[in-house]
Amino acid sequence: MKILLLGGTGEARSLAAAFAAEPGVHVVSSLAGRITDARLPVGEVRQGGFGGTEGLAAWLRDNSVDAVVDATHPFAATMTEHAVEAAREVDVPLLILRRPGWTSAPGDEWHWVDTASEAAGLLPAVGSRAFLTIGRQGLSAFARIGVWALARCVEPPEPIPTWCELILDRGPYDVDGELELMRQHQIDVLVTKHSGGAQTAAKLIAARELGVSVVVIRRPPLPAGVEAVESVDRVVEWVKARR
């Protein structure tokens, strides 16, 4: 059984390792190639784009793929849309893995928005010193908000922003480190995507302890009519049922 695994996440790396231990299963992990020095999964790896829906559909046909697993980031909406459309065109089963989102707790002050632009527009009413943890895409929406900002990215934005202080770093992060960072920069509002997962959850705990408000950007909705699960184990079960 040949599986195309759309990855780039910790869950995708775990899946690649799990599939490698399954007899009769061959997985090709696909990475978009946006992050340099990416943590590569075990097994065969393909890097770079496919050329949209048609290019992906052609690749599925040419490589005799039996199933597609989309374990991309919850905000990789375009890739997910292309995967769903291509799988339907080629008539190949597809499953989406989306890690559970975060849940607020007593003491949290969360403000929900749908886009980075909406988050930027809300910021002046919520705080005056912002910690932006949304990655480099969408960062430009905050350039003219009139609020001091600290931005943390894995890769440097292009062009390098001059309107904020920039930190290049990659998780996982711990609570003590996040507390120190927020105290050092006197952060009073945190901006995050609703990514979920343990690697970057420490900032939310730190915000709770410090009484820092949080602006949370909602996940884009999944395409209609797709099957989705929240754990690596469920994906492995799905694959086993189709062998």
According to the model, what pLDDT value does residue 37 have?
59
Domain assignment present for residue 212? The answer is: yes
135-146 mean pLDDT: 92
Domain assignment present for residue 19? The answer is: yes
According to the model, what pLDDT value does residue 149 have?
97
What pLDDT, in 10s, does the model give residues 13-52? 999 999 999 999 999 999 986 555 567 899 999 999 999 9
Contact residues for 120 (Cβ-Cβ < 8 A; gap 6+): 141, 142, 145
* Count: domains in the chain: 2
Helix runs in 8-146, H state only: 10-20, 52-62, 77-90, 116-126
> Do 154 and 73 share a domain, yes or no?
no
> Do 136 and 186 share a domain, yes or no?
yes
In the chain, the percentage of residues whose pLDDT exceeds 70 is 98
> Do 226 and 204 share a domain, yes or no?
no
According to the model, what pLDDT value does residue 151 have?
98
Using CA atoms, how far apart are residues 55 and 99, in angstroms rounded to an integer?
Answer: 27
101-110 mean pLDDT: 94
According to the model, what pLDDT value does residue 35 have?
55
Within 10 Å of residue 47's Cβ, how many Cβ atoms?
Answer: 12
Quick check: helix, strand or coil at residue 68?
Answer: strand
What pLDDT, in 10s, does the model give residues 180-194? 999 999 999 999 999
pTM value is 0.91
67-71 mean pLDDT: 98
> Do 92 and 11 share a domain, yes or no?
yes
Between residues 106 and 37, the one the model is more confident about = 106
> Do 149 and 197 share a domain, yes or no?
yes
For residue 169, the enclosing domain spans 110-217
According to the model, what pLDDT value does residue 117 have?
97
Quick check: helix, strand or coil at residue 2?
Answer: strand
